[in-house]
Amino acid sequence: MPAWFIRENGQWILAKEAPLLNHAVLHALDNGTACLLVAPGSGVSINGSPAADLGIHFLAHKDEIRCAGRTFYFTTEESPEVIAFTGQACKCGRCRTAIGEGAQAIRCLCGVWYHHGDPSCFEYGEQPLCVACRRPTLLDGSALWCPEEVA
């Protein structure tokens, strides 16, 4: 599911619900993307450019939306989740052995799968990193993209 970064008390909060805007509507779509519907005179900008009036704008990962002095970001990244593996058999990124149907597994944002269990190949060792993309392989969401700190 897509999500939104909303600034609250000086911190970026990841929200599942689209923020409410004046003269514009943010709408999450079932396919994991989102669109922005803009009314005339809304003053909304996307990535620094004014949004066209009466326009429908399809949002992409990391798009910045500004409205009435507030800033939001759209993100399509999701926290890694432990699921029962299904589909084409593949090898674990850490231990290189097969991940079988139904095994507890976690997929990195880049698509590489890892075993999850005791011990977990995903959260293996201190400060574990994905073998492919070098993102932290941790379940606390630290691998997710987050907006830059704004001045």
Of the residues 6, 39, 133, 144, which one makes contact with Zn ion according to CB under 5 A: 133
CB atoms within 10 A of CB 54: 10
Pairwise CA distance, residues 49 & 33, whole Å: 20
# residues contacting Zn ion (CB under 5 A): 11
Q: Does residue 94 interact with Zn ion by CB under 5 A?
A: yes
Figure out which of the listed residues 13, 132, 141, 146 binds Zn ion, where binding follows CB under 5 A.
Answer: 132
24, two tokens? 């514009």
Check binding of 106 to Zn ion (CB under 5 A): no
Q: Cβ closer to Zn ion: 25 or 138?
A: 138
Q: Is 105 among the residues that bind Zn ion (CB under 5 A)?
A: no
Beta strand extents in the chain (DSSP E only): 3-8, 11-15, 24-28, 34-38, 45-46, 49-50, 56-59, 64-67, 70-75, 82-84, 90-91, 98-99, 104-107, 113-115
Query: Which of 60, 95, 98, 146 forms a contact with Zn ion (CB under 5 A)?
Result: 95
107 touches Zn ion by CB under 5 A? no
Site residues for Zn ion per CB under 5 A: 92, 94-95, 108, 110, 112, 115, 121, 130, 132-133
